[in-house]
Amino acid sequence: MDLIQESELDNELIEKLRILGERNRYAEYLKILHEALQKVKIEENGEPVVYLLDSLDKDIFIELVKLNVPAQDEERLWLRQGVIEKLNMAQKLLPEGYHLLIRDVFRTEKIVWDLYHLHLSNLKEKEPALTDKEVELKIRNIMAVPDDPVTPGHMTGGAIDIILADNNKQKIQLRVDEQVIPREEQDFTFCSKLSPDILAKRRILHNAMIGVGFHNYFREFWHYSYGDAYWAVRRKNKVAIYGIPKQK
């Protein structure tokens, strides 16, 4: 039986993390999240990680974001078979003229560590007054890394970064210029400062993805996962079905 039918959301934990996240209370957020993640039981179901292009609905588009670290597109285009099936289902829930647009998929452990060090370097340059400890805490607060209590979602084949596109494969506007609203604020899925039009479009994506079983990371309107520990931690039944996948 699909676990999505077996467990309600842990709304108390979700709300607590949301409030701490919005207030940038990094140490408290990370402490509570990691304590909850340590309670997650991973029962790997052995579902294969398969090549995305072999079974993805033709109405779903792909335009991988540039990660600015050594990574080939071919090593990123993998997902759990069940996740691809859910994406195909989500596409069918979208209104006419809307398409899912995939921006990032699978990440190897090396890619994750390379991104971690890149973010560290960029933050130190952007905010030189921060101590090394403060820099690391801030990065770990918004990015899962391999030495966390559980495997990062993108390494399991259960997480995906996704937005919306129109019939011409052009991105549908889901954010505004960061001179108007700082990027870290509008990255929150339902940032209250955004216009009703943009929020409505984010809701279209959210409803389609949630409707087939994905969960959204409230700090990143584009990040959804199914089956991984970060999906499980939001549930009262804290059981993940995806851990480290078998070799592709």
> Residue 181: CB partners within 8 Å, gap ≥ 6?
191, 193, 194
pTM, two decimal places: 0.94
What is the sign of the dihedral through the CA atoms of 138, 143, 144 and 146? negative
Q: Is 204 exposed, middle or buried (0-12, 13-18, 19+ CB in 10 A)?
A: middle
* Confidence check: pLDDT of 4 > 70: no
Q: Distance from first CA to last CA of the chain, Å, rounded?
A: 25
Q: Collapsing DSSP states into helix, strand and coil, what is residue 75?
A: helix
Q: Collapsing DSSP states into helix, strand and coil, what is residue 46?
A: coil
* Confidence check: pLDDT of 123 > 80: yes
213 pLDDT band, cuts 50/70/90, is very high
Tell me the average pLDDT across 128-140: 94
Beta bridge partners of 102: 62, 162
Residue 197 one-letter amino acid: D
Taking the C-alpha atoms of residue 62 and residue 102, their distance in angstroms, rounded to an integer, is 5
User: How much is the pLDDT for 7?
Assistant: 78
Does residue 7 or residue 155 have the better pLDDT?
155
Predicted confidence (pLDDT) per residue in 233-242, tens digit: 999 999 999 9
Query: Angle of helix 26-37 relative to helix 132-142, nearest 10 degrees?
Result: 50
Residue with tokens 């889901």: 174
Percent residues over pLDDT 90 in the chain: 95
* Confidence check: pLDDT of 174 > 50: yes
3-state helix, strand, coil in the chain (%, to 5): 40, 15, 45
Predicted confidence (pLDDT) per residue in 144-157, tens digit: 999 999 999 999 99
Residue whose C-alpha is closest to residue 201's, from 84, 64, 90, 94: 94
Counted residue by residue, the chain has a size of 248
Residue 160 one-letter amino acid: I
Would you list the domain boundaries of the chain?
Answer: 3-107+149-240
**The CATH number of domain 3-107+149-240 is 3.30.1380:** yes
Does residue 6 or residue 128 have the better pLDDT?
128
In the 8-state DSSP scheme, what is residue 9? B
